[in-house]
Amino acid sequence: MKQIVSVGTSHHVAPIEFREKLAFSEDQLIESLQQLHNSYQFQESVILSTCNRVEVYAVADSQQASPPPATILIDFLSQYHNIGIENLKKWSYQYNNLETIRHLFRVTSSLDSMVVGESQILGQVKEAYDLSRTVGGAGDVLNRLFTKAFNVGKRIRSETTIASGAVSISYAAVELAKKIFNTLEDKTVAIIGAGEMSELTAKHLVSNGVSNVIVANRTYQRAVEIAEKFKGIPVAYEKDLSFLIDADIVISSTEAPHYLIEREPLAEIMRKRKYQYMFLIDIAVPRDIEPDVSKINHAFLYNIDDLEAVVTSNLKDRKQEAIRAEQIVSDEAKRFHDQLQILEVNPTIRALHQQFQQVAESELQSCFGKTELSEHQEAAVASMTQAIVKKLLHHPVHNLRQSVNDGNLDHGQYIHALQELFALDNNNDKEQS
Please identify every residue annotated as catalytic: 51
As a whole number of angstroms, the distance between CA 189 and CA 195 comes to 15
Residue 370 burial (CB < 10 Å; 0-12/13-18/19+)?
A: exposed
Residues 175/313, Cβ–Cβ less than 8 Å: no
Q: How many CA atoms lie within 13 A of 312 on its CB side?
A: 6
> Which helix (H) or strand (E) segment is 95 a member of?
strand 93-96
Residues 392-422 as b or e (16 or more Cβ within 10 Å = b): ebeeebeebbebbeeeeeebbebbeebbeee
Backbone φ, ψ for residue 58 (5° rounding): -145, 155
Give the strand pairing for 2-10 and 53-61: antiparallel
**What do you get for the CA distance between the two ends of the chain, in Å?**
15
Backbone φ, ψ for residue 250 (5° rounding): -125, 125
As a whole number of angstroms, the distance between CA 272 and CA 184 comes to 21
* DSSP for residue 281: E
As a whole number of angstroms, the distance between CA 144 and CA 141 comes to 5
